[in-house]
């Protein structure tokens, strides 16, 4: 029995890339302060009914590269706005795209201070720090 459902929106990665290029070129024709690339805007432009359908396309081997490049382009635009006067929206968007706001403590050689330590080593470090604090 044949699968029932809507036929694929894009037959080839080249057809999908042409549609993505249409979205990008449309944004480039806007004034700079109106150029706001978004995943949802791209998904809408491509004719998907949900972001999940777009992400499902990424799981199709022949479309993986094309979808990842489009998402990377949008991510790059948010990243570029981090140096602006109000990066809050970009920070929020990047976190939703998988970025993490993380701080790492590093040792003298620049390697993570705690990531490579065993539990016993961490306990010893804490005891050493505690002893120094008690002596102060």
**Max alpha carbon distance in the chain (Å)?**
79
Given a cut of 50, whether residue 42 has pLDDT beyond it is: yes
Is the pTM higher than 0.75? The answer reads no
What pLDDT band is residue 1 in, cutting at 50, 70 and 90?
A: very low
Residues with Cβ within 8 Å of 36's Cβ and at least 6 positions away in sequence, in order, are 27
Whole-angstrom CA distances from 70 to 67, 123, 126, 128, 133 are 5, 46, 46, 50, 52
Q: Say how far residue 37 (Cα) sits from the centre of its chain.
A: 13
What distance in Å separates the CA atoms of residue 11 and residue 15, rounded to the nearest whole number? 7
CB count within 10 Å of CB 23 equals: 20
Cα angle 43-94-77, degrees, rounded to a multiple of 5: 70
The pLDDT score that the predictor gives to residue 67 is 95
- Distance CA(58)–CA(76), nearest Å, equals 19
Residue 131 confidence (pLDDT) = 80
pLDDT in tens, 70-120: 999 999 988 888 887 888 888 888 787 777 776 656 666 666 655 666 777
Q: Is the pLDDT of residue 136 over 80?
A: no
Cα separation, 133 vs 135, whole angstroms: 5
């Amino acid at each position: 029995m044949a699968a029932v459902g809507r036929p694929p929106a894009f037959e080839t990665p080249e057809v999908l890339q042409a549609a993505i290029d249409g979205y990008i070129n449309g944004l480039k024709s806007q004034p700079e302060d109106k150029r706001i690339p978004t995943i949802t805007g791209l998904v809408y432009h491509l004719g998907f009914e949900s972001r999940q359908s777009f992400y499902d396309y990424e799981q199709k081997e022949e479309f993986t590269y094309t979808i990842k490049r489009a998402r990377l382009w949008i991510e790059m635009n948010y990243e570029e706005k981090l140096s602006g006067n109000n990066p809050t929206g970009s920070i929020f968007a990047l976190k939703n795209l998988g970025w993490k706001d993380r701080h790492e403590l590093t040792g003298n050689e620049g390697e993570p201070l705690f990531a490579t330590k065993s539990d016993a080593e961490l306990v010893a470090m804490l005891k050493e720090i505690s002893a120094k604090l008690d002596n102060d």
